[in-house]
Amino acid sequence: MATGWRYRVASVLGTASLTAFAVWFVNYPLIQDTFSQVPFVGRPAPAVLSNGALVFVILTALVVVLGAMWPLFKPRPRRVLDTILLTQKRVFLAMVGLAALGYFDYNYRMPRATLMLGTAFLLLWLPAWMVAIRRRPSEQSRAIIVGDDPTAMEAILEETDLPVIGYVSPPSSYEATEEAVVGKPEVSDGGAVTTRLDELSNLGGLSRLDEVLVKYEIDTALLAFADTDRAEFFGTLDTCFDHGVTAMVHRDHAEDVLTAGVAGGELVEVDLDPWDWQDYVVKRVFDVCFAACGLVVLSPVILVIAVAIKLDSSGPVLYSQERTAEFGDTFTVYKFRSMVTDAEAGTGAKLSEEDRGDVDPRVTPVGRVLRKTHLDEIPQLWSILVGDMSVVGPRPERPELDTDMESGVEDWRRRWFVKPGLTGLAQINDMTGHEPQEKLRYDIEYIRRQSFWMDLKIVVRQVWAVLMDLKQI
């Protein structure tokens, strides 16, 4: 394991060395001859690059690969699986860049055999190198308190045996903490009552949490928030997840859906990655395959829908909205337009009356068919493909509607703990936003029971429901 500047040097030099070796190695005559015999290649043995051409290709590959890998050169604690997936993603990006560079400028073109074999080599060995040198938590645990409630921060500090080096809070909490210190009751000798929290360093605001986790090599964050709101609590969970930092809460503030378990001690761990990593990989592969195949197979349907929308009413074929994503973040979702243009002008965001079985005058004739058959959701396959959504998960709501629902339904924010989905347990049971309490019950049940096989069952039921709806048209 390397730390600080050593990690930067090791990651850059390791990437450069492996890239240069990969290009040199795959250019070896025996490797090229063997590759030419692979059936899907079907070409004579390519000419081996001359020394001058080989040096030029190596330099080109170094520039592109180092540029693509740049985000990984920042020393951050990362899980093994996250390191592998992120490295492989960057290798693919580099190879696409090299292919595109050769397409637009022949002078920089890398032979196909070299590009393909070099990619295979780097996909195997570069992740292995990055895993070997990745930053891990230090041998001695290092914890910080993150929160906005001084009382809760003090309580969680009293319950932990971990070495806490400081706390991170919003500016408003600084003031509250300072007031608690300045306004301490005096004892008979004129001194002030001190607490353990007063002895800790203020490491900055929540906007600096990312920097603090890296700078101090933190492996545990103790969360002490008065309210688990979107901007702060879930933002902190998201940051902890990105850095592979364990998040813990006080038992009194724990929710079963958020915790890995509640046995033993007053502090319990937040389950930041509720999926087993094998299931997570399988789920993502399934998402990509489902979305890609869906877009290809449904391409004729997409064309017909686009024409029908344009003939039915004026306006764009697609419309976009902001939806709530995992950990309360937001992303842009696309759907086929099923309402008249500017349908929400003067009324703002609201649930469609069609979800109650009533008639919504804003919905166009073609839109009614699209909604009844769920075909208006087809563009969301793109959101699944790029990773904003999953095939199965709680349906994402608009942030303004989320705000309305959470004000009337306790624990609505629990839905934000997994990636939103195209369909879900609530959808196959005909629950809509008009029944937020029941919808939340199904969503939480899914989060607790989630597995790849459960996803398959939900998808099969949803596809069957769509086919039944199509049959009734």
Residue 432: other Cβ atoms inside 10 A: 17
Taken in order of first residue, the domains within the chain and their CATH numbers are 4-133 (no CATH), 143-183+192-269 (3.40.50), 277-471 (no CATH)
Q: What is the signed CA dihedral for 367, 368, 370, 373, rounded to 10 degrees? A: 170
Q: What is the mean pLDDT of residues 332-361?
A: 69
Q: Is the pLDDT of residue 95 over 70?
A: yes
Average predicted confidence (pLDDT) for the chain: 75
| Selection from 222, 246, 239 nearest residue 164 by Cα | 222
Q: Assign 343 a pLDDT band (cuts: 50, 70, 90).
A: low
Q: What is the mean pLDDT of residues 445-468?
A: 83
Q: What's the distance, Cα to Cα, between the start and end of the chain in Å?
A: 62
Q: Is the pLDDT of residue 174 over 70?
A: no
**Lowest-confidence segment of 82-91, 130-139, 197-206, 418-427 by average pLDDT:** 130-139
Q: What is the pLDDT of residue 9?
A: 87
| Selection from 332, 334, 340 nearest residue 315 by Cα | 340
Q: Is the pLDDT of residue 196 over 80?
A: no
Q: Assign 42 a pLDDT band (cuts: 50, 70, 90).
A: very low
Q: What is the pLDDT of residue 262?
A: 45
Angle at 314 between CA 311 and CA 315, to 5 degrees: 115
Q: Assign 126 a pLDDT band (cuts: 50, 70, 90).
A: very high
Q: What is the pLDDT of residues 23-35, one digit of tens each?
A: 888 777 665 555 5
Q: Assign 125 a pLDDT band (cuts: 50, 70, 90).
A: very high
Cα distance between residue 223 and residue 268, in whole Å: 10
Q: How many residues does the chain have?
A: 473
Q: Assign 428 a pLDDT band (cuts: 50, 70, 90).
A: confident
Q: Is the pLDDT of residue 145 over 80?
A: yes
Element spanning 146, H or E: strand 143-147
| Selection from 468, 288, 466, 257 nearest residue 391 by Cα | 288
Quote the percentage of the chain above a pLDDT of 70. 68
Q: Is the pLDDT of residue 249 over 70?
A: yes
Q: Is the pLDDT of residue 276 over 80?
A: no
The answer to whether the beta carbons of residues 103 and 60 sit under 8 Å apart is: no
Q: At 451, is the secondary structure helix, strand, or coil? A: coil
- Cα 136 to Cα 71, 99, 131, 240, 241: the distances in Å are 17, 35, 10, 14, 14
Q: What is the pLDDT of residue 379?
A: 93
The answer to whether the beta carbons of residues 204 and 218 sit under 8 Å apart is: no
Cα distance between residue 249 and residue 253, in whole Å: 7
CA atoms within 13 A on the CB side of 202: 15
Q: Assign 135 a pLDDT band (cuts: 50, 70, 90).
A: low
**Lowest-confidence segment of 52-61, 84-93, 98-107, 272-281 by average pLDDT:** 272-281
Does the predicted model carry a pTM greater than 0.85? Answer: no
Quote the percentage of the chain above a pLDDT of 90. 9
Pairing of strands 220-224, 390-392: unpaired
Q: What is the pLDDT of residue 37?
A: 52
Of residues 105 and 363, the one with the higher pLDDT is 363
Q: What is the pLDDT of residue 41?
A: 46
Of residues 136 and 463, the one with the higher pLDDT is 463
Q: Is the pLDDT of residue 328 over 50?
A: yes
Q: What is the pLDDT of residues 218-242, one digit of tens each?
A: 888 888 887 655 567 777 877 887 7
Q: What is the mean pLDDT of residues 391-395?
A: 88
Q: What is the pLDDT of residues 151-168, one digit of tens each?
A: 888 888 888 888 888 889
Q: What is the mean pLDDT of residues 193-197?
A: 58
Cα distance between residue 378 and residue 290, in whole Å: 12
Q: Assign 418 a pLDDT band (cuts: 50, 70, 90).
A: confident
Q: Assign 131 a pLDDT band (cuts: 50, 70, 90).
A: confident
Q: At 206, is the secondary structure helix, strand, or coil? A: helix
Q: Assign 49 a pLDDT band (cuts: 50, 70, 90).
A: low
Cα distance between residue 337 and residue 343, in whole Å: 10
